[in-house]
Amino acid sequence: MAARLIDTINITKMLPDDLLSVYQIEKDSYDFPWSEKIIEDCLFNNYDCFIAKNSRAVGYVIAKISSLDSHILNLTIDANYRGYGIGSSFVDLIIKECRLQGSHSIFLEARVTNSVARKLYQKYGFRSIGLRKNYYKNKSGREDAIVYRKNLIY
């Protein structure tokens, strides 16, 4: 019996050797991607950076986890690997890491047009708490972001 794709994926801390692969996924996924320098700065400035790999990089998440409020800054899956549960694995991991570090809540932004991401976050108990007007660049100008929060302490 063949292994499920998600069972062949390893999630580990991102390393400097992963930067080019991560940047390639970023460029392939967005019309206005983060620069390689931004990703590098996150990696070398104590952000919580994880990568999913099988024989190659297939996704990554960058967060800032703290003992009060944490923030998921970027969660991106290679287009060929979407729909296999990798995003869910990343959200599970970030929630676990936040709990370990005593975070009270997790914040994130999602494009209003990104219904797949919004459903994923809602599945994990993230609730919409606001709107950031014109937050993201897109081909036709700017796009709003929905701000989500998940409370970890009740």
* pLDDT tens-place string over residues 99-109: 999 999 999 99
pLDDT of residue 5: 64
Let me know: does 85 contact 49? Beta carbons within 8 Å: no
154 pLDDT tier (thresholds 50, 70, 90): low
In this prediction, residues 48-58 reach a mean pLDDT of 97
What confidence score (pLDDT) does residue 1 get? 40
Q: Which domains does the chain have, with CATH numbers?
A: 5-109 (3.40.630.30)
- Which residue, 153, 3, 9, is CA-closest to 78? 9
Structure tokens at 46: 């104590």
Reported as a pLDDT band with limits 50, 70 and 90, residue 8 is: confident
Strand pairing report for 69-77 and 105-111? parallel
Number of CB atoms found within 10 A of residue 5's CB: 14
- The helix/strand/coil state of 59 is strand
Calculate what percentage of the chain has a pLDDT beyond 70.
Answer: 95
Position 115 pLDDT exceeds 50: yes
Distance of CA 99 to the CA centre of its chain: 17
The answer on pLDDT for 3 being more than 60 is no
Checking if the pLDDT of 2 tops 80, the result is: no
* Spatial CB neighbours of 113, under 8 Å, sequence gap ≥ 6: 143
